[in-house]
Amino acid sequence: DCKAIAGCKGFNIFYERDPSQDPGSGCPNPASTTVIKASFWGNLIGSNLAINKGQYRDQFQVVIAGSNGYNVDACETAVQGWTQTQLGSCSINAPKSYCLPDNSDSYLTVKTFSDGNFDNSRCKAQCDIITKQSPDTPCNFFTSYMQVKNGQCGVQQCAFYKRAWDKSYCTNTGDPVNKITIAWASSFTNNACDGTEFCSTTPNVLTATAV
């Protein structure tokens, strides 16, 4: 069961023609038996990965048939102290905002993971590092999504912000020219502080005080 395996994001079920006993010099081509098998993945799977057609074991030919792949619809990863919002196939495209004390934009940085796995919690860990290193510009909001190219297994992207943005700003759908799409996107908002009180969409106005 994919749901019972930590990090499982897709699985492949197939029929395999296997030997009824190990082929060897005394029996190089034994009778066959059909076995239903499953493989589990930590990333998107597609037809481009279906390159295993079987092999020979001595004179016995192992054959694979009836192969079907399945991907999870969404990735639920509870992050304590943060609220997750499912975004699906788009990510946040934040507008210009004004953050104290320097009127800078709310965007902080991005982190890419290219190991083929997908785990929202490592975005949160990176967000914590950003806040620890720069407490004056804390990470209060991040997005996590899989960037897929040509339908093949992609890289996980984590984008970090000083303030939260709602789902109406989910307008980044990838790059159709380069066949890049987005999957499993979610945003996470810090429950303790979403950053909006010091990072608004209105320029800060400084008022002089007479002395």
Q: Could you tell me if residue 27 is inside a domain?
A: yes
Closest of 143, 144, 142, 151 to residue 181, by C-alpha? 151
Predicted confidence at residue 210, as pLDDT, reads: 44
Predicted confidence at residue 10, as pLDDT, reads: 85
Domain stop point among 71, 90, 122? 71
Tell me how far apart the alpha carbons of residues 35 and 19 are, in angstroms, rounded to a whole number.
10
* Spatial contact of 118 and 156, defined as CB atoms under 8 Å apart: yes
pTM: 0.76
Q: Could you tell me if residue 94 is inside a domain?
A: yes
Greatest CA span in the chain, whole angstroms? 103
Predicted confidence at residue 208, as pLDDT, reads: 38
Q: Are residues 62 and 100 in the same domain?
A: no
Q: Are residues 104 and 192 in the same domain?
A: yes
Q: Could you tell me if residue 209 is inside a domain?
A: no
Q: Are residues 37 and 110 in the same domain?
A: no
> How many domains does one find in the chain?
2
* Spatial contact of 40 and 11, defined as CB atoms under 8 Å apart: yes
Q: Domain containing 106: what range?
A: 82-198
Q: Could you tell me if residue 211 is inside a domain?
A: no
Q: Could you tell me if residue 16 is inside a domain?
A: yes
The pLDDT averaged over each successive group of 10 residues in the chain (211 residues) is 81 94 93 94 77 91 92 76 94 89 88 89 96 94 92 87 96 91 94 91 56 39
Domain stop point among 71, 99, 123? 71
